[in-house]
Amino acid sequence: MEKKSKNTTQNKVEAAKILSKPRIFFGVLLIFSSIVLTLSFISYLMKWKADQSQAGTLLDKSIKSDNIFGKIGDWLGNFFVFDSIGIAAFIIAFLCLVTGLLILKKNYFKPWKTFGHSLFFICWLPIFMGAITGGTGVLSGVYGFQIMDFLNAIIGTFGLWMVLLVSIGLYFMLEFNLNPSNVKSKLNDLNENTIGRVKDMMPNSGENFSADEELLDEAQTTENVPLSKENVIVKDLETAPINLKVSSDINPIKIPNQTSFTSTPVSAPKSNSETDDFKFEVEVAKEELDEYDKKANELVEKHGEYDHRLELAKFQMPTINLLKDYGPEEILVNQEELEENKNKIVGLLKNFNVGISEIKATIGPTVTLYEIVPEAGIRVSAIKKLQDDIALNLSALGIRIIAPMPGKGTIGIEVPRKNPTMVSMRSVISSAKFQNTDMDLPVVFGKTISNEVFMADLSKMPHLLMAGATGQGKSVGINAILTSLLFKKHPSELKFVMVDPKKVELSLYSKIERHYLAKLPDGEDAIITDTHKVINTLNSLCIEMDQRYDLLKNAFCKNLKEYNQKFSQRKLNPENGHRYLPYIVLVVDEFADLIMTAGKEVEQPIARLAQLARAVGIHLIVATQRPSVNVITGMIKANFPARVAFRVISSVDSRTILDSPGADQLIGKGDMLYFNGNEILRLQCAFVDTPEVEKLADFIGEQKGYASAFMLPEYSSEDSSSTVGAFDPNEKDVLFEDAARIVVSTQQGSTSMLQRQLKLGYNRAGRIMDQLEACGIVGGFNGAKAREVQISDLNSLENFLEELKK
Ligand SMILES: Nc1ncnc2c1ncn2[C@@H]1O[C@H](COP(=O)(O)OP(=O)(O)OP(=O)(O)O)[C@@H](O)[C@H]1O
């Protein structure tokens, strides 16, 4: 039954789609008439003075006409244009077209709306043309002239113009729903869009990076990088107007006068042409701004958004010329080598009765990946077992077998190339991928096995563990990471805390101290080499982290980006301690050395930072030569999901870093494995030499910097804080009682909170905290955590303070 009724409905729909013959006839006739009328009118307008004299001689064969449709054309032009409504006659031709299309069921136009508008202009345009031409031309037609003349006589020329302008004004107001506030907001939007687009078009917008255009072109053509296609598409989408298309041959639904959209996807409202002429208004509910937001908006209107770059507004971002050009990085295909390796692999597998149905080679900068598809029925485990045999047979260092290739259903054998291609930092920095990235902390490591530039966002990693035996490219890797960040981030956006127990690896960066480095207030060198100072710095970073968490909590923000955005929009008051927070990247070059000398004292703050600091923009890069389990402990490993391994000595070391072997099979010289928490990628690290880093540091260091390095919070070590003396009421700070009330009411014994609430320096706040401890209001120093508060409510506190005074 149901099926039958379904069929009948379907048939009806099909039938409705088929046009009857009279429909086709009249539809086509009207469209044809529209074309004839349009061409006749155009032709008439061009030669109307000559044609008009022949208008009455329709049947006189001896008289020739210049109109494209001859005398009929003349007659039509004369009748509709000259004798009637002037150029508004084209609207009649247009109406013929619309009617023809409607008859043919082509609902390109909404009928009632179109006829309504046409009628208005058929009345208005001739009078308007009459008023402009004074009735002398063909543009107004006789009706236009006469009505204009009549109105002119009764309301005068001024009155006539008023009527014309008011009527057209009203028309546009009703049609486009224009009112002064709408117009203002539309103009504002237009303004913002224009400014936005102009900014986008500015060569230095966003990042001030200025790579040679030539180089960029070169990079785009020589690399396999998709030429920032995504970016182009995204830009197009951003600027393209969004059309809400509603299919016209579906059933109507009722829509209330005011419709509010939610973001839930809904199927398109059904409508048909008869119901299309209702007024459809969409009103986007404006968010109610509270007092605070209003004030922020006023401030932004008055002073503009807070610009964190302002203090170093003239700072020039490094240019690509600072990096050395090592020549073209074309990959030369050595056919002989390819053939030889292929034959060896196939032959060897054949010897072990492993049939191959397909083999494919991808040539990277350092290694070639041979992907084999085993014949049906061959077990992957059978090939896996042959790993050592394959490596032995190919007798090459650096063979790695990936069985199976994740997500590919093939088995990969990586074989080092005889003549590897060097990947220069210059080539990866100038790549379109790096140039156009919108990552927060972009790090360009080098190139993948398929010769694509490989980048990762440090802010998403969120911390990086690097390991590799000595001389395998670890220092170059750290320099590549630091260079990437220096090429992309302004000094106001990023600070480094550098720990270099070897004393020589990071010393080059001391030149950029006043631009990019952070240190302890009493620290002499920004690059920390002394183990004791490292402990203080790490604990200070923990305090900075806690302070940042407090700031974020007070600002109701979940992460640093959101917080900085709010601060830039002047929604956060600097008087309450709020400030623009740069990213902080802690770089530890020789972690094993630190662990050996300081052990838990270093491990604990590092683990704490690794666990918590991500949201507040503090990221860690920890490198080590000795990836043994007592250096890379379970606690460290658990908090460093992103790991990089250069060549290590044993597969045990490889397992310690990557949880799998492979790093012991690398060939050194920047050949590396990158583990992002899910998969392991083989990359060739980009090479940046010491002179290049020196040049870059000089370029930055020679520019105007801040007065000093970025100051980390002061950290008083446990030893010094344990020497809090007895409480002396005569020496207590004038703000002592206020501080006690704050601490008790918030139940938080935090010096940084006192600093903020009482607007004090760290030292004074620290002294008050010591006094609070000495009289027993708060407990003892508790590492980087807040102290315990010993009094539970304000009443008890007031009693306690009274007692103290006695
Ligand atoms: N990405 C690379 N491309 C080409 N060559 C490289 C690359 N990385 C390193 N090398 C070569 O390896 C040498 C040693 O690299 P690097 O100084 O980074 O090693 P390391 O692991 O830091 O050693 P150490 O721990 O002893 O300091 C470099 O001088 C360079 O010749």
Distance 209 CA to ligand 1 centre (A): 27
Rounded Cα gap, residues 337 and 361, in angstroms: 11
Rounded to whole angstroms, how far apart are CA atoms 284 and 499? Answer: 53
Task: Give the mutation target among 624, 669, 689 for probing the ligand 1 site: most ligand atoms within 8 A of CB.
Answer: 669
- Mean pLDDT over 388-406 rounds to 76
162-169 long-range Cβ contacts below 8 angstroms, 24+ apart: 164/124, 164/127, 164/128, 164/131, 167/124, 168/124, 168/128
Smallest CA separation from ligand 1 atom 25, residue: 470
What are the residue ranges spanned by the domains of the chain?
2-176, 335-416, 718-805
pLDDT computed for residue 631 by the predictor: 85
Coil, strand or helix at 446: strand
CA distance 365 to 663: 18
Ligand 1 atom nearest the C-alpha of 473 is 18
Could you identify the residue written with the tokens 């990071």? 506
In this structure, of 204-213, 268-277, 462-471, 523-532, the range with the lowest mean pLDDT score is 204-213
- pLDDT tens digits for range 481-515: 999 999 999 999 999 999 998 888 899 999 999 99
| Atom number, ligand 1, closest to the C-alpha of residue 469 | 21
Q: In sequence order, which residues have a C-beta less than 8 Å from that of residue 39 and are 6 or more positions away?
A: 68, 69, 73
DSSP run (H or E) holding 695 = helix 690-701
Contact 76, 69 (CB under 8 A): yes
Among 371, 369, 383, 487, which residue's Cα sits nearest to residue 434?
Answer: 487
> Which one, of 798, 777, 779, lies nearest residue 787 by Cα?
779
Q: What is the pLDDT of residues 156-175, one digit of tens each?
A: 888 888 888 898 888 888 77
Distance 646 CA to ligand 1 centre (A): 10
Q: From the CA of 709, how far away is ligand 1's center (Å)?
A: 29
Q: Which long-range contacts (CB under 8 A, 24 or more apart) does 288-297 make?
A: 292/571, 293/571, 296/569, 296/570, 296/571
Residue 276: other Cβ atoms inside 10 A = 17
Q: How far is CA 330 from CA 23, 43, 222, 338, 452, in A?
A: 67, 64, 7, 17, 12
The confidence score (pLDDT) of residue 8 equals 46
3-state secondary structure of 62: coil
Q: Give the nearest ligand 1 atom to 684 CA.
A: 1
pLDDT in tens, 441-480: 999 999 998 889 999 999 999 999 999 999 999 999 999 9
Q: Looking at the CA of residue 505, tell me the nearest atom of ligand 1.
A: 27
Asked if pLDDT for residue 721 goes beyond 80, the answer is no
For 143-174, letters b (16+ CB in 10 Å) and e give bbbebbeebbeeeeeeebeeebeeeeeeeeee
Where does the pLDDT of residue 257 fall: very low under 50, low under 70, confident under 90, or very high at 90 and above?
A: very low
The pLDDT, as a whole number, for residue 259 is: 32
Please provide residue 499's backbone torsions phi and psi, each rounded to the nearest 5 degrees.
-120, 120
Q: In this predicted structure, what is the pLDDT of residue 2?
A: 43
Q: Measured from the CA of 479, which atom of ligand 1 is nearest?
A: 18
List C-alpha distances in Å: 91 to 158, 170, 176, 432, 652. Answer: 28, 21, 21, 52, 85
The residue contributing the CA closest to ligand 1 atom 4 is 669
Q: Which of 643, 685, 681 is nearest to 369 (CA)?
A: 681
Cα-to-centroid distance, 366 and ligand 1 (Å): 15
Give the model confidence (pLDDT) of 608-621 as tens digits: 899 888 889 999 99
- The whole-number pLDDT of residue 671 equals 93
Which fold is adopted by the domain 718-805?
Arc Repressor Mutant, subunit A (1.10.10)
**Of 504, 500, 551, 544, the residue nearest 521 (C-alpha):** 544
Annotated binding-site residue? 470: yes
Using the Cα atoms of residue 710, residue 713, residue 719 and residue 724 in order, give the sign of their dihedral.
positive
Q: How far is the CA of 433 from the centre of ligand 1 (A)?
A: 25
What pLDDT digit, counting tens, does each position of 14-55 carry?
444 456 778 888 888 999 999 988 988 888 887 766 555 555
User: Which comes out higher in pLDDT, residue 193 or 555?
Assistant: 555
Pick the CATH number of 335-416 from 3.40.50.2000, 3.30.980.40, 3.20.20.140, 1.50.10.10: 3.30.980.40
State which of 472, 507, 508, 674 you would mutate to test the pocket of ligand 1, scoring each by most atoms of that ligand within 8 A of its C-beta: 472
Interstrand relation of 464-467 and 442-448 (parallel, antiparallel or unpaired): unpaired
644 in helix, strand or coil?
A: strand
Tell me what percent of the residues of the chain surpass a pLDDT of 90: 21
Nearest residue (by CA) to ligand 1, atom 6, is: 669
Nearest ligand 1 atom, CA 686: 1
Q: Average of pLDDT values for 336-357?
A: 85
Nearest CA owner, ligand 1 atom 12? 669
What is the 165 CA–ligand 1 centroid distance (Å)? 78
Mean pLDDT along residues 71-100:
86
Residue with tokens 């870093």: 657
Ligand 1 pocket test target in 476, 682, 684, 690 with most atoms within 8 Å of CB: 476
Burial state string for 67-79 with b = 16 or more CB within 10 A and e = fewer than 16: bebbbebbbbbbe
Smallest CA separation from ligand 1 atom 28, residue: 473
d(CA 298, CA 307): 16
* Ligand 1 pocket by Cβ (under 6 Å): 422, 468, 470-476, 625, 669-670, 685, 687
| Higher-confidence position of 549 and 7 | 549
The answer, yes or no, to whether residue 577 has pLDDT greater than 70, is yes
Reply yes or no on whether the pLDDT at 191 is more than 70. Answer: no
Sequence-ordered list of residues with C-beta below 8 angstroms from that of 789, at least 6 positions apart, any chain: 743, 744, 747, 748, 749, 777, 778, 779
Ligand 1 nearest atom to the CA of residue 468, by list position? 21
Asked if 145 and 137 count as a contact pair (C-beta separation under 8 A), the reply is no
Q: Which residue's CA is the nearest one to ligand 1's atom 20?
A: 471
Burial class of 455 by CB neighbour count within 10 A (0 to 12, 13 to 18, 19+):
middle
Q: Whose CA is nearest to atom 14 of ligand 1?
A: 471
| 647 Cα: distance to centroid of ligand 1 (angstroms) | 11
pLDDT for the residue 58: 61
Query: Token match 């006043």: residue?
Result: 514
Instruction: Determine how β-strand 356-363 pairs with β-strand 281-282.
Output: unpaired
CA distances from 138 to 67, 132, 352 (A): 16, 12, 96
Q: In angstroms, rounded to a whole number, what is the distance separating the alpha carbons of residues 45 and 146?
A: 20
Instruction: Transcribe 24-50 into DSSP letters.
Output: HHHHHHHHHHHHHHHHHHHHHHHSHHH
State the pLDDT at residue 203. Answer: 40
Ligand 1 centre to CA of 490 (Å) is 28
**How do residues 630-659 score in pLDDT, each as one tens digit?**
888 888 888 899 999 999 998 899 999 998
Known binding residue 677? Answer is no
Q: How far is the CA of 675 from the centre of ligand 1 (A)?
A: 20
Alpha carbon distance 628, 397 (integer Å): 23
Strand partners, 585: 496, 619
Ligand 1 atom closest to Cα of 446?
Answer: 1
Most confident of 56-70, 136-150, 766-780: 766-780
Q: Is 469 annotated as a binding residue?
A: yes
686 Cα: distance to centroid of ligand 1 (angstroms): 11
How many whole angstroms from 393 Cα to the centroid of ligand 1?
29
Task: Give residue 292's pLDDT band: very low, low, confident or very high (50, 70, 90).
Answer: low
Task: Give the residue, 274 or 489, on which the prediction is more confident.
Answer: 489
Per-residue tokens: 5: 């009724």
Q: Is residue 206 pLDDT above 70, yes or no?
A: no
What does pLDDT average to over the chain? 78
